[in-house]
Amino acid sequence: MPRPSQGGRGFSLSAKRRVFFALWPDAEAATVLASLAAAVAKARGGRATRPDQLHVTVAFVGAVAQEAMERVLVAGVRAAAAAAPFELVLDRLGGAARDGVAWVEASAPPPALTTLHEALAGALRGEGFPLEARAFRPHVTLARRCTRPADRREVARLSWVADRLALVVSTSAPEGSRYQTIAAWPLSRPRADPAQPA
């Protein structure tokens, strides 16, 4: 199994950690997302997601014991090896008024992202990790604790080329959850040549 790249120095897993797989935006997209998050939080009376926490969740695993982490890593390696880089476009605001959450999502999720999600879900189930049954809806959470309903409208498209799958640990903190990448793999299947027939 290829060795994953590690994030953070001196990081050690405790008995259980809440983990998920994610796509991080590139620097340019992160800057645009941070500005959008600040504007949405102000308009909706919420708290903007910190710029370094903005991401797309591909699969949420949940609490994992230290001795089971190797199986999560195996699932990540397999899914990333089967997926190709792709352009991810986010262009529509949404939210859940009941939960006080606002987000930006893909009005037309790229097939490659759906394929990555399905490959990851299959690999995780194969390793004994059941996932949520609800439909996959790729988005970036922009604000929480909103006191006014989120807009549901189109926004100027923002995009980046997703080319790495990250395994992230979520740690609770007084100011909200903190995320740290503990492993990451390149999406290593070659991209299809648009000039060639499928």
Domains of the chain, CATH where assigned: 18-186 (3.90.1140.10)
Which pLDDT belongs to residue 1?
39
Model pLDDT for residues 154-178, shown as the tens digit of each residue: 999 999 999 999 999 998 876 667 8
pLDDT confidence tier of residue 152, bands split at 50, 70 and 90:
confident
Model pLDDT for residues 109-148, shown as the tens digit of each residue: 999 999 999 999 999 999 999 877 778 899 999 999 999 9
pLDDT confidence tier of residue 192, bands split at 50, 70 and 90:
low
Which pLDDT belongs to residue 175?
67
Global confidence as pTM: 0.85
Which pLDDT belongs to residue 130?
81
Model pLDDT for residues 24-67, shown as the tens digit of each residue: 999 999 999 999 999 999 999 999 999 999 999 999 999 999 89
Three-state SS string over the chain comes to CCCCECCCCCCCCCCEEEEEEEECCCHHHHHHHHHHHHHHHHHHCCEECCHHHCCEEEEEEEEEEHHHHHHHHHHHHHHHHCCCCEEEEEEEEEEEHHHCEEEEECCCCCHHHHHHHHHHHHHHHHCCCCCCCCCCCCEEEEEECCCCCCCCCEEEEEEEEECEEEEEEEECCCCCCEEEEEEEEECCCCCCCCCCCC
Model pLDDT for residues 73-105, shown as the tens digit of each residue: 999 999 999 999 999 999 999 999 889 999 999
